């Protein structure tokens, strides 16, 4: 087949890591692949890495804003599709080409526009205008796109449940595909824990940390609520400057915090996922939550909200807390510290839950492509 990969929406490291897994599958196939990407530093590095492969071509497009992107997707794409006689369009970022009759598969890996919990959080915090800007306007567009999409790829089954509240899913065909490498070699042995020594609290978040769905305030409030005699430090992937005027951070924590800024995947493995580390995630909604999965695979203790997405993706053995409840999070942290069973066994059970969950899904995008084409026939 000739497949067009619409990757215009990929702008950050999380999206790039999933895109890398995709291209590693595709370059081994007999398919001809055309990637259409947005121009940014991460994408440029991605193209440099893979442009030598004979069955892959890249088209780099500069767009200014979401509306401009929609115009490009629905008019500029048409010329490429006709010229290259494309058989299948793979929309990697939740959109669809409205005026094009070519067979399409749409991937949904952003649930910000499909979460009632997140809607309520914006409204309860009197952030109605921000909700309009960050959620509602884009929801209108993505709902329209998705309502016209028959074939939809998702990363976990809770995504379908979220979509059910916003679109008619009766005539949709869903494919649950793994985007996580769960080979035995990809998992590291559990780290060593001795909480009579200093605790390393790890909080991984990108530059859009003040978007309400990241919910950094849960973390800040819970740490401030801990007993004063607990010896700890915080490693956070933001800079002091980014947090200096933030309403979701307390400057009294600065003396105990290492402000790391952006770090590479290799730096995470060597510097952050170390002994005595507790990774804490406070996200209101995730499709996967790659930062938590990285923690699990690298053998550190992880804490996440007791929400459907966490239970489905990470499993029932995770340490969890009640979302928006700082007392619950600080109590969960204390439960981890006072845990009287084997940390190693608990981490291994969580790793096994993740492995089994991912192995139950489609393992290859090529299998999904074949299914879509055969269903259409």
- Per-residue pLDDT, 65: 79
In whole angstroms, what is the distance from residue 252 CA to residue 230 CA?
Answer: 15
Give start-end residues of each CATH 3.40.50.2000 domain in the chain. 2-178+361-376, 184-358
Tens digits of pLDDT across the chain (377 residues) = 899 999 888 876 667 877 888 899 999 999 999 999 888 888 888 899 999 999 999 988 888 877 888 888 888 888 888 888 999 999 988 888 888 889 999 999 889 999 999 999 999 988 899 899 889 988 998 898 898 899 999 999 999 999 998 998 988 999 999 999 999 999 999 999 999 999 999 999 987 766 789 999 999 999 999 988 899 999 999 999 999 988 899 999 999 999 998 887 777 777 899 999 999 999 999 999 999 999 999 999 999 999 999 999 999 999 999 999 999 999 999 999 999 999 999 999 999 999 999 999 999 999 999 999 988 76
- Provide the token pair at 356: 């089994």
How far the first Cα of the chain sits from its last, in Å, is 14
Sheet holding 277-280, edge to edge: 257-259, 232-236, 199-203, 277-280, 301-305, 319-321
Give the whole-angstrom CA distance, residue 216 versus residue 33: 39
Q: What is the C-alpha separation between 62 and 39, in angstroms, rounded?
A: 6
The CATH code of the domain at 184-358 is 3.40.50.2000
Q: Tell me, what's the pLDDT at 209? A: 64
With tokens 């026939």, the residue in question is 377
pTM (predicted TM-score): 0.90
pLDDT for the residue 12 = 66
Closest by Cα among 218, 200, 216 to 256: 200
The CATH homologous superfamily to which domain 2-178+361-376 belongs is Glycogen Phosphorylase B; (3.40.50.2000)
């Amino acid at each position: 087949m000739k497949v067009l990969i619409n990757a215009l929406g990929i702008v950050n490291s999380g999206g790039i890591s999933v895109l890398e897994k995709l291209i590693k599958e595709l370059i081994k196939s007999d398919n001809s692949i055309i990637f259409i990407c947005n121009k940014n530093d991460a994408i440029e590095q991605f193209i440099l890495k893979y442009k030598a492969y004979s069955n892959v071509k890249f088209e780099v497009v500069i767009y200014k804003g979401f509306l401009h992107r929609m115009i490009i997707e629905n008019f500029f794409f048409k010329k490429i599709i006709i010229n290259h006689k494309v058989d299948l369009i793979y929309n990697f970022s939740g959109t669809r080409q409205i005026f094009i009759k070519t067979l399409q598969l749409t991937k949904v890996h952003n649930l910000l526009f499909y979460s009632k919990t997140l809607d309520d959080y914006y409204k309860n915090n009197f952030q109605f205008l921000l909700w309009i800007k960050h959620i509602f306007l884009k929801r209108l567009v993505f709902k329209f796109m998705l309502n016209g999409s028959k074939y939809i790829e998702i990363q976990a089954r809770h995504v379908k449940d979220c979509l059910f509240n916003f679109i008619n899913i009766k005539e949709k065909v869903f494919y649950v595909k793994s985007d996580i490498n769960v080979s035995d070699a990809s998992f590291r042995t559990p780290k060593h824990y001795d909480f009579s020594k200093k605790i390393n609290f790890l909080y991984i978040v990108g530059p859009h940390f003040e978007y309400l769905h990241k919910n950094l305030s849960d973390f800040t409030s819970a740490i401030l609520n801990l007993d004063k005699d607990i010896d700890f430090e915080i490693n956070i992937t933001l800079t002091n400057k980014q947090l200096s005027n933030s309403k979701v951070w307390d400057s009294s924590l600065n003396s105990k915090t290492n402000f790391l800024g952006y770090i590479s995947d290799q730096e995470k493995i060597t510097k952050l996922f170390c002994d005595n580390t507790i990774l804490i995630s406070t996200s209101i909604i995730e499709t996967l939550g790659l930062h938590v999965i990285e923690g699990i695979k690298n053998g550190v203790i992880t804490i996440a909200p007791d929400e459907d997405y966490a239970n489905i993706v990470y499993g029932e053995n995770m340490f969890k807390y009640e979302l928006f409840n700082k007392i619950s999070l600080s109590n969960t942290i204390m439960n981890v510290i006072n845990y009287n069973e084997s940390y190693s066994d608990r981490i291994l059970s969580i790793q096994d839950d993740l492995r089994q969950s991912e192995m139950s899904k489609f393992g290859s995008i090529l299998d999904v492509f074949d299914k879509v084409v055969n269903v259409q026939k």
